[in-house]
Structure 1
Amino acid sequence: MEAVTFADLAPLVALVLGPVLALAVAMMRYQHVDSAKMRDLIAESNQELRDLIAQSNQELHRRIDRSDQEHRESIAQSNLELRDLIAESNQELRDVIAQSNQEHRTAIEQVRTESNQNFKELSRSLGDVRERLGRIEGHLRIWPPRGDGDGEAEAA
């Protein structure tokens, strides 16, 4: 066997390693270009996403502000309506109380009048009873015991 020198193998090595090295360099270049494009696309996508988020936030803030204002107006309107209802209710309650007071005063006045009439009638009846009692005692000749002038008999 004959000895093969590197000089003899150099064209073979160059023939095998050359295309592999060229292929590796081409693949690295392609990957670098692809990575750069990907980086640019990601950066562009991030910017678009940030713009959309900012726009969404602005729209959301506008909606929240509008909703907040609508709620405040609604609450203010409800408060006004509630105050009106309370005022009406208070007026109705005052009217009912005034009417009730008037009815009670009328009833009290009627009771007083009836009481006075009953008292007068009772006084007349009592006077009639005293008179009849006096006649009965006179007829039976029963004299009331002598007292100290107030109609009560003294103890014997």
Structure 2
Amino acid sequence: MYNLDLEMSKRIHSFGKKHFAFWSFLSRFGFWFLTAYAIILLYQLRNLELFYDLIISVIVSFFGVLILRWIIKRPRPEVIKTSYKAMLKWSFPSLHASVGFAFATSLALLLIKLSHGNSLTWLVASIILVFTSIIVVTRLFVGVHYLSDLLAGGVIGILIAVIAEYL
């Protein structure tokens, strides 16, 4: 299984080599665009209670993944040569993917709830999730994660956001 994960990760990483600077920028700063959107939405709504699910899902996702990383201790892929330096030592599950999808899923659910599910809101929610997926894949492009790190992190983030929404 490890060899398949490594091979898939190497192949995806090779797609990002041509535009490494762009992927590196998006990997570092992409979520700030979503954060800015959420802050603007929060300002317009002027209702912090609506954002509790979002805040809770991000915090639980962040600390939950840090604890899992400390337990699992899977090293980052050293076989993928990259000049991009990750801030944390362990890679599984991906903190970017978990927190990103917790944030994006919570934001999408919030938008759908506020608009009572109209089609434009579904489109905006879908765009948010697609943008998050692109940002998460940049972690493969810059060579700091295996594919399984991102998949596990994404699933964790989505599950936490959905649980926070419906509890």
- State if a TM-score over 0.5 links the two structures: no
Superposition TM-score, scaled by structure 1 size: 0.23
Query: Which structure has the larger Rg?
Result: 1
Superposition TM-score, scaled by structure 2 size: 0.22
- Structure with greater contact order relative to length (CA < 8 Å, sep ≥ 6): 2
Considering fraction of residues, name the structure with more helix: 1
